[in-house]
Every structure is written in structure tokens, then in C-alpha cells.
Amino acid sequence: MTAQIIDGKAFAATVREKVAGHVARLKEEHGITPGLAVVLVGEDPASQVYVRSKGKQTVEAGMNSYEHKLDADTSEEDLLALIDQLNTDPAVHGILVQLPLPGHLNEDLVINSIDPAKDVDGFHISNVGLLGTGQKSMVPCTPLGCLMMLRDHHGSLSGLNAVVIGRSNIVGKPMAQLLLGDSCTVTIAHSRTKDIEEVTRRADIVVAAVGRPQMVTGDWIKPGATVIDVGINRIDAPEKGEGKTRLVGDCDYDSCAEVAGAITPVPGGVGPMTIACLLANTVTACCRANGLSEPEGLTA
């Protein structure tokens, strides 16, 4: 068996097209332009790349992009003051504080200072609680992207057995809640799970989000299962030359693809969906703020 490749790059382009269509209608019918504010503290190179990409894709979708770049030694007081300003700005519908923050800043405090209705990352404790109790919330972008791809591939997820490997607040836990919401039978596996290979082998859907390169191998996978690989790990690639590296997921792609029915590659799988879902969440937040119907196909 050779798995069908779930092309996250192509799917993300489709999501961005839907976002752009909704933005155009909001402008034409209601005179409203969704706005996303991104706050970057410090000079972390990876964060700078992410912020540039987010800003570019926000503008390409027809939305307003507001970037706030602060020095690495910015005080907590000044950062919270900026967030308070963005919370009260009617032109800003989504707020994202790029993580990680410098060590002297309390990430939990900063995240929970964002207005939950503008928390397009879905990390605020109120949104975590709403999602966990099955109520309307802002949903973390990466799990939302995984859910969209699973729905597109399977249609209905009802009754399927799903194993989420990893229990992080950013991916593992919200992913499990979303799958429960779509009536899957869900198991969360992690580093302390006994006989994790056998637990995973029972799953119709495997979502690997554990942060360990190529941990999940083909003999963990039930024949025909769908594998969503959230991991992005950089490993040495001596075949490319001295000091060279390459990106791999939490799954050993080659062995898993021989057994699975469908699989996301790394790169080009889940990664592109994260920013696409950030844009989708911003449009959703804008619609909710203005009492308008939520954009079809862009929410959980």
C-alpha cells in the first residue's frame, strides 16, 4: 500500500482563497476590513521569519496587517500596555503575540491579557475552557488546520478511533477536544503511555505532535489509517554535505507511507495550514465582533 499524500500546501492555498473571498464580501457588503495585529518582542530569527510571512499573507488576503516590533528588553508593563491598546482598538480583530517571549516576560500573563474574542491563537485560558466544554471559542490554528484536512479527507469523522501522540497545550490537548467534538473516540498518548506502539496501532487516525524526530514508524500504523504529522524537526543530513540539515516530522515518513492510507508530508503538510488558519480565525473574530454570520468552512 502506498499512502495518498495530503498536500497541506495546496489545501492551505484553498483556505486562503476562501478567506480572501470572505474579506472581499465583508468590505463590499458591510464596509469592514478585518485587521490582524502581530506583536514581536526581541530578535529571534525564526520568529522574525514567521512574522514576516504572517504579515505578507494577511495583506494578500485583503486584510489590514499591524506589526508591532519591540526591543528584547521591553518591560512587561509596556507590553501589557500595548496589548490593552490593541484590545480596545476597533480596527484590530485579531491579536497574536509571537512566542517564545524573552525570559523576563511571563508568557501566561501576557497571553491571558489578550481579549479572548481577539485571541486568534486560541491560547487564552477562557478559550481553552470554552473549547474543552464544547462551546464557541477561538481555536488554536494548528489543530484547526489538522481538523480541516481530516474532514476534507474523510468527510465524517464520527465513530473513528483517533490517537493523538503528545499532550501539549498548543496542539495535543486542543486536537483531542476537536476530534471529540467531531464524535471520534480519542486517546491521548505521551511519553509515559505503556505500550504506545500497540495503542497507536488501533487508530484510524493518528495525529503525531510529540516533538521527537521520526518517532512513529510504519509498524505503529494500522493499515489504511490516516496519519497527520505535526512535527517539524531539523536533523543532520550528511548526505547533503558537511553541516547540512533537513526537516523531518515526528513520523518516519517512508515506513509510515507504506502502511497508511493517507499521510501528510514534512515539510508541506500541516505547516502551511497554521498561518492559513490564523487568517481564518481573524475573519471569524471580525464576523463575531460585528454580529455577522461566521464564515462557512473556516471554523471548527
Q: Of these residues, 18, 57, 98, 229, which one is catalytic?
A: 98
Q: Which of 150, 143, 91 is nearest to 277 (CA)?
A: 143
Contact 256, 224 (CB under 8 A): no
If one counts every other C-beta atom within 10 angstroms of the C-beta of residue 255, the result is: 16
DSSP state of 222: P
Q: Find the DSSP H helices in the chain.
A: 8-25, 45-60, 76-87, 107-111, 125-132, 141-154, 172-181, 196-201, 253-257, 271-289
Residue 98 falls in the annotated catalytic set: yes
Nine-digit cell string for 138: 477561538
Q: Of these residues, 18, 57, 118, 121, which one is catalytic?
A: 121
Q: Of these residues, 18, 54, 173, 222, which one is catalytic?
A: 54
| 25 CB-side CA count, 13 A | 14
Residue 121 falls in the annotated catalytic set: yes
Q: 102-110 long-range contacts, Cβ below 8 Å, gap at least 24?
A: 102/41, 102/42, 102/72, 102/73, 102/74, 104/73, 104/76, 105/41, 105/74, 105/76, 105/79, 106/76, 109/76, 109/80, 110/76, 110/79, 110/80, 110/83
Contact 19, 276 (CB under 8 A): yes
Strand partners, 229: 208
CA distance readout (Å), 220 to 38, 168, 178, 263 = 39, 21, 23, 14
Contact 185, 199 (CB under 8 A): no
Residue 240 falls in the annotated catalytic set: no
Residues annotated as part of the active site: 54, 98, 121
